[in-house]
Amino acid sequence: MKPFLLVAQREITTRIRKRSFLVMTILGPVLFIGLMVAPTLIAMSSETEELNLIVVDHSYVLPGTPSVEGANLAYFDPKEVTEEQAIALVRERDDIDGLLYLPESVNSDPEFSLKNAKLYTETTAPLGMASELEGLLERFAYEGKLRHFGVDPALVTQAKSDASIEAFELSDEGSEASGTEIKTGIGFFSGILIYMFTFLYAAQIMRGVIEEKTSRIVEVLVTSVKPTQLMLGKILGIASVGLLQFAIWIALTAAAASAVGAAGLLSPDPAQLEALGAAGQTPPELGELQSVLGTLDALNLPALIAMFLFYFLSGYLFYGALFAAVGAAVDSETDTQQFMLPLTLPLVLTFILSTNIIENPNGPVAVALSLIPFSAPIAMMIRLPFGVPWYELAASMSLMVLGFLGTVWLAARIYRVGILSYGKKPTYADLWKWIRMKP
Amino acid sequence: MNALTATGLHKRYASHHALRGLDMEIPQGSLFGLLGPNGAGKTTFIRIANRILAPDEGRIELFGAPLDASSALRIGYLPEERGLYKSMKVGEQAMYLAQLRGLSATDAKQRLRTWFERWELQSWWDKKVSDLSKGMAQKVQFITTVLHEPELLIFDEPFSGFDPINAQLIREEMLRLNREGRTLIFSTHRMESVEELCTHIALINQGQNVLSGTVQGVKDRHRSGRFVLRYRAEHAASFTLPEGVELTRNEQEASGIFTSEFRAGLDDASRLLTALAPQVAVYQFEEVVPSIEDLFVQTVQGV
């Protein structure tokens, strides 16, 4: 086998057998699914515990026994029970969890008891219980006032209207729903993925180079493999591991999502919504879902995924080579700081400027950032869902290819000298000398 | 034929001129000792021979042909600073290094098994290198260096880092490999191992080859014409000397033993002994031959 392939093969086999690879591979989808399922689970769990509250209401705002989510309310005649007696009752009786107390009004101001209501509970009151009760009090006070002014509350409800605006983009082919939120979401998400992967895997290259250097095995390796090939073998080996992990994530997430979806934990369930739509009922989510699907259709997903892979790989190669050079230049990871800053700064800066790109995807800042290879992988991925002229895309991709060829060349020159230099921490001037040095 | 021939090698680093026109001839089948003080350029020369570095000027040939990508398959190299991947298993790592040197996976496995059995290392195969002692790891590295059975072996300070028992093991392996017809080059600063092992030496100082040849040849070139006689006597003898011979020392060494030193022509040994033998009870007579260590110090210090 070619030495270059042996190097890549070693990177792959040693890395995928590491425990951290297994953990990350499993944990990734678990996190994704967790994020999707958590809201449903939280909603379900809060329904299970109901509090038994007694109500002592001096304001007489609450009529009868209105229901409130998460609590059963029992009314006591305020004329017969004092605040202290009610509290004592809560303490004595196990089946009573708390007391909602509205004090007597001062100067017959009904607002006073509303503003000074108290909630006593034996355990910590669930999050949102107080605000739920506040809403309840406000609603009945509001309706009471309407009646006092001679207005039927049902009339007020009828008078309310719901407005909703859908944005359309006028293009040559006609008009299409612009779906700005979804585009922002897709662009931003793929930008974040590229950002994370670049850092994660480029840093792995750097650590691998430092390991070979500090263990001194590199001196034996470079007699069989040219330094440039050793570096490229390492970069491509780690890239394969990254892509493999990525593929497993997607497969596992899709499998888990469909399993979880079948269990009815994911809302909204598209089939159920369609059935509802067919029955003539249109819940608000259905309209949203249709517009999401419409936007996704209009986005040409295969092209987006292809572009994602291109920018993911070229960005990784671009930064991976530079990180390899940093690893070769230093003796230990603690010395990497001074060389890391100029590499991480453009990435972080692009990320900070991403809001600017989203606000104005075809503005000068966005265009410039998506052409410069340092920022293009993130900036272009954010811009792409909003539509990018073909010539800009072509220019950006060509610059990206030139960019990583350039950094690989530059890094190789630093690498071949650096891996055999020990001791003194090099300066930027030293690195420049290494670049110009004959092999 | 020479295993390795270097002519006029120059290598400049940013701050110093490491090789200044180094010439070197390493005959095939020799056990070649590369001597020199620290910073003389030994490691630079070794790295050029291994194509890790390229010379600024000069030519270097391996078995009569310029170095190229296939050279690595004919050379085994044990660097001075040794090391393996710490978190990789011993067997797997040895397989990797062997395959990098052009062995097929099946050949590599078979040869490794033979070596591991010979040195009784079988139980290490699935251990991580970080679990081995330094000496154990060095043994593994030695095996990976010679496994592809190269014609030329280059060891940079092979005995450093080995305990005396393992150093002896390595020494025996080196002699065995040499007997099998392989050329060995090793750099060292341990002079006793040089006289014991080497057929040839070269002394590098300040980037140049200042002294080289067979061990005996080098010694012969530095004959001084000094002879030492030790004899048994009660009192210092007074000698009648042949023409051209000068007595430089004559003193008691221990009770009943005297030492005297003579300066004569290089080939006067027999004539001198014939003249002296009837005069005293000879205990010992020898030509003063410089040790390699003496020559090393003399040459480096310019004495």
DSSP secondary structure letters along A83-102 = HHHHHHHHHH-TT--EEEEE
Q: Of A37-41, A84-88, B11-15, B60-64, where does the model show the most confidence?
A: B60-64
B48 and B78: one domain? yes
Q: Beta strands A118-121 and A174-177: pairing type?
A: unpaired
Q: For residue A305, name the pLDDT band (cuts at 50, 70, 90).
A: confident
For the stretch A316-349, pLDDT in tens is 999 999 999 999 888 888 888 888 888 888 888 8
Residue A264: predicted pLDDT: 59
Q: What is the CATH number of domain A50-154?
A: 3.40.190.10
B118 and B136: one domain? yes
For the stretch B92-134, pLDDT in tens is 999 999 999 989 999 999 999 999 999 888 898 999 988 988 8
Do residue A211 and residue B85 have CB atoms under 8 angstroms apart? yes
**pLDDT beyond 60 at A287:** no
What is the rounded CA–CA span in Å between residue B198 and residue B214? 8
Q: Of A131-135, B25-29, B164-168, where does the model show the most confidence?
A: B25-29
Residue B25: predicted pLDDT: 95
Nearest to B83 among A14, A217, A433 (CB): A217
Scored b (16 or more CB within 10 A) or e, B198-235 reads bebbbbbbebbbbbbeebeebbeeeeebbbebbbeeee
Q: Is residue B16 situated within a structural domain?
A: yes
What is the rounded CA–CA span in Å between residue B21 and residue A111? 102
B236 and B281: one domain? yes
Residue A90: predicted pLDDT: 85
Chain A residues bordering chain B (beta-carbon distance below 8 Å): 1, 3, 6, 10, 14, 211-212, 214-217, 219-225, 420, 430, 433, 437-439
Q: How far does the CA of residue B105 sit from the closest CA of chain A (Å)?
A: 9
Q: Which residues in A lie closer than 8 A to residue B87 (C-beta atoms)?
A: 14
Give the mean model confidence (pLDDT) for residues A5-25. 89
- Name the more confident of B43 and A250: B43
Number of structural domains chain B divides into: 2
- Domain boundary, last residue among B204, B220, B236: B220
Phi, psi dihedral angles at A419 (to 5 degrees): -65, -20
Q: How far does the CA of residue A215 sit from the closest CA of chain B (Å)?
A: 5
Q: Yes or no: say if B101 and B149 are a contact pair by the CB < 8 Å rule.
A: no
Q: Is residue B300 situated within a structural domain?
A: no
Residue B13: predicted pLDDT: 82
Q: For residue A30, name the pLDDT band (cuts at 50, 70, 90).
A: confident
- Name the more confident of A357 and A164: A357
What is the rounded CA–CA span in Å between residue B292 and residue B34? 12
Do residue A223 and residue B88 have CB atoms under 8 angstroms apart? no
Do residue B79 and residue A438 have CB atoms under 8 angstroms apart? no
Nearest to B52 among A222, A430, A437 (CB): A222
Q: For residue B31, name the pLDDT band (cuts at 50, 70, 90).
A: very high
Domain boundaries, chain A: 50-154, 179-436
Q: How far does the CA of residue A426 sit from the closest CA of chain B (Å)?
A: 12
- Average pLDDT score, chain A: 80
What is the rounded CA–CA span in Å between residue A397 and residue A381? 12
Q: How far does the CA of residue B295 sit from the closest CA of chain A (Å)?
A: 32
Q: For residue A282, name the pLDDT band (cuts at 50, 70, 90).
A: very low
Do residue B79 and residue A219 have CB atoms under 8 angstroms apart? yes
Q: Which residues in B lie closer than 8 A to residue A222 (C-beta atoms)?
A: 52
Residue A355: predicted pLDDT: 83
Q: Is residue B294 situated within a structural domain?
A: no
Question: Which 8-state DSSP code applies to residue B246?
Answer: E
Q: Is residue B127 situated within a structural domain?
A: yes
Give the mean model confidence (pLDDT) for residues A275-291. 52
The share of chain B scoring above pLDDT 90, in percent, equals 54
Q: How far does the CA of residue B167 sit from the closest CA of chain A (Å)?
A: 21
**pLDDT beyond 90 at A29:** no
CATH number for B122: 3.40.50.300
B253 and B165: one domain? no
Q: Beta strands B200-205 and B31-35: pairing type?
A: parallel
Do residue B14 and residue A215 have CB atoms under 8 angstroms apart? no
Give the mean model confidence (pLDDT) for residues B215-239. 89
B174 and B115: one domain? yes
For the stretch A378-426, pLDDT in tens is 999 888 888 888 899 999 999 999 999 999 999 988 888 888 887 778 8
Give the mean model confidence (pLDDT) for residues B254-277. 90
Residue B222: predicted pLDDT: 86
**pLDDT beyond 80 at A166:** no
Q: Is residue B124 situated within a structural domain?
A: yes
Beta bridge partners of A55: A75, A100
Nearest to B77 among A212, A223, A439 (CB): A223
The share of chain B scoring above pLDDT 70, in percent, equals 100
Residue among A335, A402, A349, A399 at smallest CA distance from A379? A349
Do residue B81 and residue A219 have CB atoms under 8 angstroms apart? yes
Token pair recorded at residue B50:
């291994």
B101 in contact with A, Cβ within 8 Å: yes
Q: How far does the CA of residue A401 sit from the closest CA of chain B (Å)?
A: 29
**pLDDT beyond 90 at B180:** yes
Q: Which residues in A lie closer than 8 A to residue B51 (C-beta atoms)?
A: 223
Give the mean model confidence (pLDDT) for residues A151-163. 84
Residue A263: predicted pLDDT: 65
Which residue does chain B place closest to A3, by CA atoms? B100
Which residue does chain A place closest to B49, by CA atoms? A223
**pLDDT beyond 60 at A284:** no
B244-252 CB contacts, 8 Å cutoff, 24+ apart: B244/B268, B245/B272, B245/B275
Give the mean model confidence (pLDDT) for residues B169-188. 93
Kindly give the residue spans of alpha helices, DSSP state H, lying in chain B: 42-49, 71-74, 90-100, 105-118, 134-146, 164-179, 191-197, 215-221, 269-276, 292-301
ipTM (interface predicted TM): 0.81
Q: Yes or no: say if B177 and B146 are a contact pair by the CB < 8 Å rule.
A: yes
For the stretch A103-135, pLDDT in tens is 887 776 767 888 888 888 877 777 677 787 888
| Interface contacts (A, B; CB < 8 Å) | 56
Residue A148: predicted pLDDT: 82
Q: Is residue B123 situated within a structural domain?
A: yes
B17 in contact with A, Cβ within 8 Å: no
Q: Is residue B299 situated within a structural domain?
A: no
Residue B135: predicted pLDDT: 83
B82 and B109: one domain? yes
**pLDDT beyond 80 at A268:** no
A93-96 CB contacts, 8 Å cutoff, 24+ apart: A95/A52, A96/A52, A96/A53, A96/A54
Residue B284: predicted pLDDT: 93
Q: How far does the CA of residue A347 sit from the closest CA of chain B (Å)?
A: 32
- Name the more confident of A1 and A284: A1
Do residue B52 and residue A224 have CB atoms under 8 angstroms apart? no
Q: Is residue B8 situated within a structural domain?
A: yes
For the stretch A199-255, pLDDT in tens is 888 889 999 999 998 888 998 898 888 888 899 999 999 999 988 988 888 888 788
- Name the more confident of A358 and A59: A358
Nearest to A220 among B14, B53, B97 (CB): B97
What is the rounded CA–CA span in Å between residue A152 and residue A170? 46
- Structural domain harbouring B268: 225-287
Q: What's the pTM?
A: 0.72
Residue A64: predicted pLDDT: 64
Q: Which residues in B lie closer than 8 A to residue A420 (C-beta atoms)?
A: 47, 52-53
